[in-house]
């Protein structure tokens, strides 16, 4: 996946587009996390990014970038469909890593603590975490 494509995916977009991304992410995030748990080596950061994206104190542009990347993550059919064994989440990983690298300073200790707790709960009971 080339940088131009990733850049297009990560465009924060309009308020309507951000709302649409947020609805999609809220509805599908935990289900996708269950599927991707073994394929995404930095899942703790992805979950911290999720909490950062939903935090109203996070700057709008940062929320937009995170919501765009998380919306791409939760889409079942994307550049490389998630069901393709061994490759399915590789494009998602590239998009997520790019987004998280760009906004890393906005992920707070509170977001990371919420992610740690969610992962602990997930390890005990892999049903939807929220």
Q: Considering only CA atoms, which of 51, 47, 55, 62 is closest in space to residue 99?
A: 62
Q: Give the ranges where 37-108 is alpha helix by DSSP (H).
A: 43-54, 60-74, 90-103
Residues 6+ apart with CB under 8 A from 82: 32, 35, 36, 76, 88, 89, 92
pLDDT of residue 4: 44
- The reported pLDDT for the residue numbered 128 is 52
In the chain, which residues have pLDDT < 50? Answer: 1-4, 79, 81-86, 129-130
């Amino acid at each position: 996946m080339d940088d131009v494509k990733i850049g297009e995916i990560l465009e924060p977009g309009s308020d309507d587009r951000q709302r649409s991304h947020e609805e999609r992410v809220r509805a599908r995030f935990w289900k996708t996390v269950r599927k991707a748990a073994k394929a995404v080596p930095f899942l703790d950061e992805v979950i911290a990014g999720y909490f950062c994206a939903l935090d109203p104190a996070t700057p709008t542009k940062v929320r937009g970038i995170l919501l765009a990347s998380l919306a791409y993550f939760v889409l079942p059919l994307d550049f490389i469909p998630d069901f393709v064994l061994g490759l399915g989440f590789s494009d998602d990983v590239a998009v997520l890593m790019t987004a998280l690298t760009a906004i890393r300073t906005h992920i707070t200790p509170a977001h990371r603590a919420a992610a740690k707790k969610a992962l602990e709960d997930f390890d005990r009971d892999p049903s939807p975490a929220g």
